[in-house]
Structure 1
Amino acid sequence: MLVLLDTYLGRQYKTRQDNTIQYNTIQYTSSPFPNFSTSQLLNNIPISTQLQSALTGVNGPYLIYLLHTLQYTFISSVIGSIFLASLVLFRPPLFLTPTLVKSYVVTKRLVQYFWDPEPTNDTASRSPIWCLGEEYLVPEKSSTSAPVIDSPPQEGGYLPAQSAQSPPPTTPSPRLHQIVKDGGWPTAFLDDFEAKIWLTYRSNFPAIPKSQDPKAFSAMSLSVRLRSQLVDQGGFTSDTGWGCMIRSGQSLLANALLTLRMGREWRRGLSSNEERKILTLFADDPRAPYSIHKFVEHGASACGKHPGEWFGPSATARCIQAAGVYITGDGSDVYEDTFMSIAKPNNTDFTPTLILVGTRLGLDKITPVYWEALKYSLQMPQSVGIAGGRPSSSHYFIGVQESDFFYLDPHQTRPALPYKDNVEDYTVEDIDSCHTRRLRRLHIKEMDPSMLIAFLIRDENDWKEWRRAVKEVQGKGVIHVADKDPALYGLGGERDGAIDEVETFDDDDDDTILDAPSIFVHSSLKRLILQGYKANTNHTQCSK
């Protein structure tokens, strides 16, 4: 049975040497028979010759890898069996093409829809975890040495040397028990993660009127169309299915405000009224300045985005621009003279400035040359996260460990966050709905290349440190800083080498200055430089 293959099979990788196919078995700790190789397993299971030929033939590794991925659940076995049967019936050469890969991705996502376990800290290298510039050490897993209990956050440093004088404890401490309970993650990291404002899909908020434009209905996804016809006939009372990028943009802006007003060290339970004041700015009500109603209103007027239509990164950036005070010329770099004209207008005191970089780092996937720079962006003390995710499915990334990015997922529908004239009227349930301790992570290979990267610059020293860090980043940089904007001096052109460095393309070609309470935002977006290039339809573009 295919179910038996799904249960017993370890990871298999094919190597071809002198026309002989060999399978190297990597032991899988959850397998009840870890010593079984592929050939042994096939010889001991009564399956048809046709199926055995398929599993040991040229397509075998693909089928085996699929079986391994769809493991240990009833639904995965059923889907895997049906999918494998279709492969056997409609064999080569189709399955040597990307069609198989796409089918695998669809099947994997379908399984994850029903089964989405929380990740555990299973990295073998004990790499540190970074959360918006704060570093957290991973607890020791060895039972023969002293456990390393979660340490306080450290900014921009390296792993400290472990003390050789501390004897191992005879019994685990209560905090170690808490680490085990939390999936092996440092408690301090989880506390920091939980402190971040998490804005998600909401329902039952005041209706957002539907657009009368004939094109509006066709711009919606099928599920949103059905909902608009059957449920939201009088207007949209929920953003489920289309508002995820807006929610990611709201989360990014809310956490920038949270950091500015309450400091990076703030945790839940401290200065709760100040937190409520920030949340009321993002309430699901037209009176709130950063409500979804305001985003949709500005999206319609400035970007041609209709209510119920999915927003992309550039459209979201334009919506944050609703309170904008300045717009620069186009270009691909951040210029110090332009930045200082916003942060220090007329040579006055420095104003905290939010740098919002909209970029696209690949066509379908993030180009590997940018991996290190993107990971490092979340290690900078000035980081306030990345709004990005998968195609047409946005997340708000706030942490990284090795090549895995931790994110807040807006794809959970909750009751609308009400607007309160008196912030003390917010209930515990209202506040709790804006926080989560539930970790989610995504490998950089699965991330969509179109994103918004944000940094909060609080003073001139912060600017100098950020500029130095951007210059010293490993790999190819995703941000470039220059002294002067050539357009301001009639010089024109790009920084030397800029065209060669831009391997991929963006949704838009504008630089935008945005204004939030006590914050200005500079949006630097790369230009489309390849004639005839068309952006993927999954990435929305603002009309000029």
Structure 2
Amino acid sequence: MGESMKRAFMARYENHITALSDYLEDLPDTDEPFWILGRRYHIKSERPALLLDISSRLWFTYRKKFSPIGGTGPSSDAGWGCMLRCGQMILAQTLVCCHLGREWRWEKDKRQPEPYSRILKCFLDRKDSCYSIHQMAQMGVGEGKSVGEWFGPNTVAQVLKKLALFDEWNTLAVYVSMDNTIVIEDIKKLCKIHHKNKNSTTDTSAQAGAFSYNHIHLHKSRTGRSHAASGYHSIWKPLLLLVPLRLGINHINPVYIESLKECFKMPQSLGVLGGKPNNAYYFIGFVGDELIYLDPHSTQSAIDPESSKVVDDVSYHCQRIPQRMKIVNLDPSVALGFFCKDEKEFDCWCSFVHKDILKKPSFRMFELVQKHPEHWPPFVPPTKPEVSTTGAEFVESADKLFESEEEFEILNA
């Protein structure tokens, strides 16, 4: 059987299984709380609110009949793009929190605020959309993944980090942890943009970061004057924090399960990228010992909004009963996601981590440290390469800014 036939068969099989599983059972009638991205619900009294919250998340699935990736590549991601779609979902949730707020809700046929439409257009299946399947697949080439090859959660995290450099609307700071370690000092370097005060010559450029941190730091070291005394003030860029982890060898180690649950309870939670071998899911919460997830394994036709200014968005919201899986069945390769809109939220997140994740030193999923480890290479916040597009042309230049961590890539989807 040829490769294209195999993928077509897999796509039909996945769609069939998904369709069946959606109707096998309802949500459990339990007294245990449901946690969805930092929000707590009781199914017996808050079922409509729970389902509305879940259906409001942007849902990205396989698509077909889009323009070929790279001009001659595949025109569908069925059978290989599930982790890329999950990466789109966690990033979309980031943008929703940034522009609309965590309390925003979507309802069919209800007029939505302008930023919603703009967020959705970032993910359309077009080569010129900032976070399209085209951009993600081509950027993956720089991470050693051919177009049409399965990604793991760490590769998707690295791809999002690179693509965010070209997103001038959102100006996100994307931090991907290394060696299970999150460095507070590095995150604050990454997120703080330094501008001149109004009574100084103002740098109004929308480019990243505008003024590089190293330039400011050098200025201070040479003059001995603080940023404030030199006429500078700091602005915090919204932070997308991604934490790729291995929580076991072949299966998740049960010692990490309670800490994983705590992550979904944090107000800054964006959920978790992960799944099972050859099947990636976007996990948005849990109830008891089951994870709740959005499944990208349905193939829909691509939407081209050329003829209309308004995108038909119904197919981007899952309105079925959410699916669940036992936490013990989770593949150990995962990537945790968190969003901190400002420095205060990041400081609060650090407090949550110290209180709820690091309280058992022998069972820590990751480390949170104040200072950059001395044995690591110096941390330099990345800047946008001098190129005009976000296609395959800049993969080589952008790749020089980052290092891939292939040890996380056990998950094959």
TM exceeding 0.5: yes
Query: C-alpha offsets along residues 172-217 of structure 1, whole Å, 9 cap, x if unaligned?
Result: xxxxxxxxxxxxxx1100000000000000000001248xxxxxxx
Aligned pairs for 1:100-179 (under 5 A) are 115-116=20-21, 117-124=23-30, 126-139=31-44, 149-150=45-46
Query: Is 1:235 aligned to residue 73 of structure 2?
Result: yes
Amino acid at match of 2:286: V
Query: What secondary structure sits across from 1:433 in the alignment?
Result: helix
1:110 Cα deviation from its structure 2 partner:
12
In structure 2, the CA distance between the partners of 1:188 and 1:270, relative to structure 1 (3 Å rule), is farther
Runs of 4 or more, structure 1, over 6 Å off, are: 326-329, 510-515, 524-528
Aligned to 1:507: none
| Percent identical | 31
Letter in 1 for 2:336: I
Residue 138 (structure 1) shift: 2.7
Work out the CA distance in 2 between the residues paired with 1:298 and 1:253.
Answer: 16
Residues 327, 190 of structure 1: alpha-carbon distance in 2 compared, 3 angstrom cutoff:
closer
Secondary structure of residue in 1 paired with 2:67? strand
Gaps of 5+ in 2: 1-13, 166-173, 195-232, 385-401
**Residue 197 (structure 1) aligned to one of 58, 64, 75:** 58
Gap change, CA 1:111 and 1:514, over 3 Å in 2:
farther
| Whole-Å separation in 1 of the counterparts to 2:369 and 2:150 | 34
Aligned to 2:354: 471
1:129 aligned partner, one-letter code: F
Greater C-alpha radius of gyration? 1
Q: What residue is the counterpart of 1:313 in the other structure?
A: 153
The Cα offsets for residues 392-440 of structure 1, whole Å up to 9 and x where unpaired, read as: 210001111111111110000001132549643x2xxx30000012210
User: Which residue does 1:406 correspond to in 2?
Assistant: 292
Give 2:144's match in structure 1, choosing from 304, 315, 319: 304
Match of 1:250 in 2: 88
- For residues 463 and 363 of structure 1, the distance between their equivalents in structure 2, rounded to whole angstroms, comes to 31
Amino acid at match of 1:315: T
Q: How much has 1:538 moved relative to structure 2?
A: 4.3
Partner of 1:274: 115
**Which deviates further from its counterpart, 189-198 or 265-274?**
265-274
Aligned partner of residue 135 in structure 1, secondary structure: strand
Q: Which runs of 5+ in 1 are unaligned?
A: 1-108, 140-148, 151-185, 211-233, 495-509, 516-523, 529-533
For the 8 Å contact 2:176–2:242, the answer to whether it is kept is no
Give the length in aligned residue pairs. Answer: 327
Q: Does 1:441 align with 2:324?
A: yes
CA distance in 2, matches of 1:329, 1:282: 25
> Is residue 481 from structure 1 mapped to residue 368 from structure 2 by the alignment?
yes
Bigger relative CO (Cα 8 Å, ≥ 6 apart)? 2
Structure 1 residue 123 displacement after superposition: 5.0
The C-alpha deviation readout for 1:128-185, integer Å capped at 9, x for no partner, is 111100111231xxxxxxxxx32xxxxxxxxxxxxxxxxxxxxxxxxxxxxxxxxxxx
Q: Counterpart in 2 of 1:77? A: none
Distance 1:123 1:369, change over 3 A: farther
Q: In the alignment, what sits opposite 2:197?
A: none
**1:12 alignment counterpart:** none
1:430-467 residue CA offsets vs partner (Å, 9 max, x unmatched): 30000012210111011111111110011222112111
Shift in Å, 1:390: 0.8
Provide the C-alpha distance between the structure 1 equivalents of 2:275 and 2:153, rounded to a whole number of angstroms: 10
Aligned equivalents of 2:317 and 2:88: distance in 1? 14
Q: 2:271 aligns to what SS in structure 1?
A: strand
CA 1:356–1:327 in structure 2 vs 1: closer, same or farther (change >3 Å)?
closer
Residue 345 of structure 1 deviates from its aligned partner by 3.1
CA distance in 2, matches of 1:420, 1:111: 31
Contact 1:450 1:539 in 2 (8 A): no
What code does the residue aligned with 1:437 have?
Q
Residue 391 of structure 1 deviates from its aligned partner by 1.2
TM-score, length-scaled by structure 2: 0.72
Give the Å deviation of 1:303: 1.5
Cα deviation, residue 512, structure 1:
8.9
Distance change (3 Å), C-alpha of 1:111 and 1:306: closer
**Structure 2 CA distance for aligned equivalents of residues 336 and 263 of structure 1:** 24
